[in-house]
Structure 1
């Protein structure tokens, strides 16, 4: 009986993986791609990804160049990548179309050869995962590697959709707060909302009811961003730390400047 149950469970996992779907909406209706269809494409190939962001080692994937699934986008477009766990990465099309050598790929989990569990929380990265080759060439951020991917949508930019997260428009263009806002969009907004705005559902709001700068000393907040477990040891914690390679000291300073600024600009949500 136990063997039968185990076999049925295994079959269920395989069927689920086979039935996985990725939805892409570039403004002309939704196109749905299924695992088996993607794995049979003429442009699918095996790629190697050294230092993979999710697995922290070299990984090998069956993948297709992401831009082949995003026909018609140009440098002025903006895309949102929504994962099954509530992660919502905002990525400008200009990064995906860069000519610097960084290339985005849609990695497709083959149900016959499933990927290993993630080392951080024993979660799963499949069935679809955006990975990059030569990410350093275009300074691709770790938050721009969304896994458990479910949907890609062409959207208006962050500023147009979420005005309550904008800093004071009177600030000079070269202000540290504006730099922090740009960094915030790449490193924080994929998991967190701010002033009740944003599509991420993974982490708490960073301004309501309280901004973290209001209840954490600056040194503790810095340490928490670098290594969340340094403040509270919690095996089930979802937040990953940002080392100096992923977030420079100058960018960290700028994010904190933005948060301090936004603590004075709470919305009425």
Structure 2
């Protein structure tokens, strides 16, 4: 009994301990800048932000946050920014989308050491120390991938075609054709978790072309169902891939995405 009591006391003490102060690295090409939890919480532009439909927690949430664009001074209108999470997730967000004066607004939510956020799910841990959240995300159709949590770093990027030439479709294709449109959809919805032809910053999901494209081993109806709801095809508790309903991915966008994947299956490049 004494040992059980001791264990319970230690467990209670662990729950009472504050979250360790964290750091966020921001590199816009002019020298890296590191922001600490305490520094961000002390900023004059920090405020409470209410998110009615939070992407990670699937409910209303309230955060202490700062406007994300205030941390991105020096980012050009045409710059792409890479948001890297501690779990290997990486997503590109155009600087122009963050710096817009109207519509959706991006915020950097900061986990307060003495008021930690709840766990997202039993197998996913927490969303802290930093989390990009959006007010009025519907105004600019902000995708669920553009809500990166467990954020560790933000950095400016070169154009995607220069960094990852092996994911780019055939240059002779029509700019407004299905494959080119699908390439844009792929970058917005898939590239945050997956590589293609071994190229990409994310390390969360499998490669979508090497050794085989999903268009090569799944019937189209099953692949469409899987993208809409991964658990409808095969169910497992540790699944990380979210489903894409028609608000996140229209039928036309899904058609274009599959056209791009089918096209890239003919352009395999092994890393």
> Is TM-score (shorter-chain normalized) higher than 0.5?
yes
Q: CA deviation at 1:267?
A: 0.4
Secondary structure of the 2:97 match is: helix
Match of 2:95 among 93, 96, 100: 93
| Cα distance per residue 1:8-66 (max 9 Å; x no partner) | 5346x62xx33211111111221111112211111100011111111111111000000
1:71 aligned partner: 73
Report the counterpart of residue 240 of structure 2 in structure 1: 238
Partner of 2:225: 223
In structure 1, how many angstroms separate the alpha carbons of the residues matched to 2:51 and 2:177? Answer: 36
> 1:137 is matched with which residue?
139
Q: TM-score, normalised by structure 1?
A: 0.95
Tell me whether 1:55 sits opposite 2:57 in the alignment.
yes
Structure 2 gap segments, 5+ residues each: 1-5
Task: Tell me the residue number matched to 2:42.
Answer: 40
SS in 2 for 1:151: strand
TM-score (normalised: structure 2)? 0.94
Select the residue among 114, 117, 123 that pairs with 1:115.
117
In structure 2, what is the equivalent of residue 2 of structure 1? Answer: 7
How many residues get paired?
266
Aligned residue number for residue 159 of structure 2: 157
Partner Cα separation in structure 2 for residue 266 and residue 174 of structure 1: 23
- 2:36 is the alignment partner of 1:31: no
- Return the alpha-carbon distance in structure 2 between the equivalents of residues 49 and 171 of structure 1: 41
Counterpart of 1:128? 130
Of 170, 173, 176, which aligns to 2:175?
Answer: 173
Give the Cα separation in 1 of the matches to 2:38 and 2:55. Answer: 25
- Aligned-residue Cα RMSD (Å) equals 1.4
State the SS of the aligned residue for 1:106: strand
Residue 264 of structure 1, CA deviation:
0.1
Contact 2:56–2:127 (CA<8 Å) still a contact in 1? yes
Contact 2:143–2:188 (8 Å) recurs in 1 = yes
How far, CA to CA, are the matches of 1:238 and 1:78 in structure 2?
25
Where 1:225 maps in the other structure, the secondary structure is helix
Is this contact kept in 2: 1:66–1:104, CA < 8 A?
A: yes
Asked whether the 8 Å contact 2:210–2:270 carries over to 1, the reply is no
Q: CA deviation at 1:119?
A: 4.1
